[in-house]
């Protein structure tokens, strides 16, 4: 126990001793730290003082530089202000000079106005004197002259109004003509057909020259029998390996051609054989006529037609008009009629039927006397055609007044098919005479210099003398020539009269 107490006391004494020792050491360290801190503070104060002095010096330098820059800027601005003041002064001087000039001009204008007013007064005085003198010379007052002028203006206005009315009427006619031409042109453009030229003679080729003697026969017996049987003339001349059949009736001529070709092919040419072959040829031609009629009906799109009427229509294959095959003409005209009717909005089928049958009278004109239009209408009526069709047939050449649109379409289509270029044959002599007469008619007018008939006589170009004919007179000449051509000449289609007035001036620079 005592040992424990002793140990405790020893430990306490040791702890107290250690405490005092550590405290003494701590006080020494504190004193040393305070000394170092004081030293540091003194050093920091010196450094701060030095930094302060440097900062002040730098601030002073910066202030000096700023003051220097400000002075330079002030000098620059002062110089700019001075220049602006100089420019303003110059402008003020210029404005003053302009103001002085304006004052002088204003004074000049006032003087001119005064002179003008004086001149106006003098002019009014002179006008009054002239008016009084004019009234004295004319023998009428100003009111009467004014009334006369008003009446003249009214007459001029009426004349101008009449010109306008005439122009409007002309435009209306031109529009109607234009629409009609458009309809016809569309119809023509939509139809294309071949050109066919027929004649009253037919040439038959022979295998050799010896065949001519066999055709003639002993003492001309075979050729006389052939001409008696066929009703045609057989012409045998110097043409090598060919003979010519001549007959005005195309059907008899076709039968004769078939007969002769059969005889040549068979080789046995004698009177009895000629009659036999001619009978067979009749059947062949009759069959050909029926087939031609059926072709025309089918080509036109018409099927419900009397067989006899189809046969009469087929006979037109061997008929020509001015060199144009009549069957092809009626088929072509029916196509044109369909196009025209479709453009007009009328009955297309009826128009085509009327036009297809309009020339059937030509198939029997050798047997029946009278106009082919009236004959055709009678045939159509007898074979059960409608009254509208019969009327169109009889009216297509003007023998009967037209009462239906189909009759008009039939006549127009017939004219289009017959008047198109190449449809009908014209002799060279007639053609040349027509061109010469065209040029003669144009040359009869005063002021015409040269005339040229062009485009196969469908256009006439008239060159006039510009020093004698003005533009208005040129228009009058064109109309007068067209009127005279219409009165004196007959021609297909229309003829364009073009009057050309050309004035040329030249000079030389030297």
Residues 258, 7: Cα–Cα separation, whole Å: 177
Residue-wise pLDDT tens digits, 447-469: 899 998 876 677 899 999 888 88
Report, as an integer, the average pLDDT of 127-146.
Answer: 73
Q: Is the pLDDT of residue 477 over 80?
A: yes
21 pLDDT tier (thresholds 50, 70, 90): low
Residue-wise pLDDT tens digits, 228-254: 888 888 888 777 778 888 877 778 888
Percent of the chain exceeding pLDDT 70 equals 83
For residue 195, the model assigns a pLDDT of: 40
Choose the weakest-confidence range: 97-111, 158-172, 280-294, 495-509.
158-172
Residues 428-501: name the CATH superfamily.
K homology (KH) domain (3.30.300.20)
Taking the CA atoms of 266, 270, 271 and 273 in sequence, report the sign of the dihedral they define: negative
Rg (CA), the chain: 62
Greatest pairwise CA separation for the chain in angstroms: 206
Any idea where the domains of the chain sit in the sequence? 194-289, 301-425, 428-501
Residue-wise pLDDT tens digits, 290-329: 888 888 888 888 878 888 888 888 888 887 776 678 888 8
Task: Quickly list H helices, 301-419.
Answer: 307-315, 326-344, 348-356, 372-382, 387-395, 405-419
Highest mean pLDDT among 366-380, 424-438, 472-486: 472-486
Instruction: Give the residue from 199, 214, 165, 173 showing the smallest Cα distance to 320.
Output: 199
Is pTM beyond 0.85 here? Answer: no
Q: Contact at 8 Å (CB) between 278 and 259? A: yes
CATH class of 301-425: mainly alpha
Tokens of 407: 């009759």
Strand partners, 463: 450, 500
Percent of the chain exceeding pLDDT 90 equals 3
CATH class of 194-289: alpha beta
For residue 493, the model assigns a pLDDT of: 60
Report, as an integer, the average pLDDT of 75-89.
Answer: 88
Q: Which residue has the higher pLDDT, 137 or 403?
A: 403
198 pLDDT tier (thresholds 50, 70, 90): very low
Residue-wise pLDDT tens digits, 439-448: 899 999 988 9
């Amino acid at each position: 126990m005592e040992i424990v107490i002793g140990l405790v006391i020893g430990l306490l004494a040791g702890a107290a001793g250690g405490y005092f020792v550590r405290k003494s050491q701590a006080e020494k360290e504190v004193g040393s730290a305070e000394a170092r801190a004081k030293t540091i503070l003194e050093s920091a104060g010196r450094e701060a003082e030095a930094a302060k002095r440097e900062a002040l010096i730098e601030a002073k330098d910066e202030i000096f530089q700023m003051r220097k820059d400000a002075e330079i800027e002030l000098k620059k601005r002062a110089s700019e202000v001075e220049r602006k003041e100089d420019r303003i002064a110059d402008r003020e001087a210029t404005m003053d000079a302009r103001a002085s000039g304006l004052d002088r001009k204003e004074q000049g204008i006032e003087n001119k106005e005064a002179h003008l007013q004086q001149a106006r007064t003098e002019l009014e005085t002179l006008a009054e004197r002239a008016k009084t003198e004019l009234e004295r010379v004319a023998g009428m007052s100003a009111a009467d002259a004014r009334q006369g002028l008003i009446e003249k203006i009214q007459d001029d206005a009426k004349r101008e109004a009449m010109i306008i009315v005439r122009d409007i009427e002309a435009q209306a006619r031109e529009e109607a003509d234009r629409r009609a031409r458009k309809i016809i042109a569309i119809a023509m453009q939509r139809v294309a057909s071949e050109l066919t030229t027929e004649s009253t003679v037919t040439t038959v080729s022979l295998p050799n020259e010896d065949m001519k003697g066999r055709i003639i026969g002993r003492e001309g017996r075979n050729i006389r029998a052939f001409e008696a049987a066929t009703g045609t003339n057989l012409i045998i001349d110097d043409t090598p390996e060919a003979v010519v059949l001549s007959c005005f009736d195309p059907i008899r001529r076709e039968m004769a051609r078939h007969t002769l070709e059969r005889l040549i092919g068979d080789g046995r040419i004698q009177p009895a054989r000629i009659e036999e072959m001619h009978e067979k040829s009749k059947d062949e031609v009759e069959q050909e006529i029926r087939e031609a009629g059926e072709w025309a009906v089918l080509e036109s799109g018409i099927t419900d037609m009397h067989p006899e009427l189809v046969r009469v229509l087929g006979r037109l294959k061997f008929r020509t008009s001015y060199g144009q095959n009549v069957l092809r003409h009626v088929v072509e005209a029916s196509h044109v009629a369909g196009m025209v009717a479709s453009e007009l909005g009328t009955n297309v089928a009826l128009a085509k039927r009327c036009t297809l049958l309009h020339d059937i009278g030509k198939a029997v004109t050798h047997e029946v006397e009278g106009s082919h239009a009236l004959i055709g209408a009678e045939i159509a009526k007898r074979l059960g055609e409608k009254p509208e069709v019969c009327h169109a047939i009889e009216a297509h050449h003007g023998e009967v007044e037209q009462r239906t649109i189909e009759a008009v379409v039939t006549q127009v289509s017939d004219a289009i098919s017959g008047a198109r270029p190449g449809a009908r044959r014209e002799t060279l002599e007639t053609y040349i005479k027509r061109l010469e007469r065209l040029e003669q008619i144009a040359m009869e007018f005063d002021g015409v210099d040269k005339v040229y008939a062009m485009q196969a006589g469908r256009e006439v170009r008239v060159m006039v003398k510009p020093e004698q004919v003005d533009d208005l007179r040129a228009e009058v000449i064109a109309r007068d020539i067209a009127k005279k051509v219409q009165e004196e000449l007959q021609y297909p289609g229309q003829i364009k009269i073009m009057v050309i007035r050309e004035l040329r001036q030249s000079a030389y620079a030297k």
